[in-house]
Amino acid sequence: MGNIEVVPEKVAWVLVRDGRVLVTRNRGVDVFYFPGGKREPGESDAETLAREIEEELQSRIDTTTMEHVGTFETESDWFGYGDRARVSAVDQMVFDVLHTSGRLL
């Protein structure tokens, strides 16, 4: 890996209905998130969202009804095995495998 800091971008579908929002989660994970994903090279926000929703939810969305809700930044950091308790349950399993194999200090 190089020293270039890359800020990952995610486009998310925030579907509001009856005062509630649609969220999803992966099996075995307690944390829910908005459906969506990372942009492929050259994709617009609408193209990214349409592709990700098709992949994740096997649903099609009308991109002409989209409106921008906001742009948000999250924190990222580099963790070692000592930080294991600070990540989700499924990530802890990955930490364990990496630590056991000697790839995570």
CATH at 1 = 3.90.79.10
Q: Report the predicted TM-score, pTM, of the whole model to 2 decimal places.
A: 0.66
Q: Are residues 58 and 43 in the same domain?
A: yes
Q: Are residues 37 and 82 in the same domain?
A: no
Q: Are residues 34 and 57 in the same domain?
A: yes
Half-sphere exposure of 3 toward its Cβ, with a 13 Å CA cutoff? Answer: 0
Range of the domain at 88: 77-105
Specify the pLDDT at position 79. Answer: 94
pLDDT in tens, 5-50: 666 788 999 999 999 999 998 888 888 889 999 999 999 999 999 9
pLDDT in tens, 82-100: 999 998 887 899 999 999 9
Number of domain units in the chain: 2
Where residue 2 falls among pLDDT bands split at 50, 70, 90? low
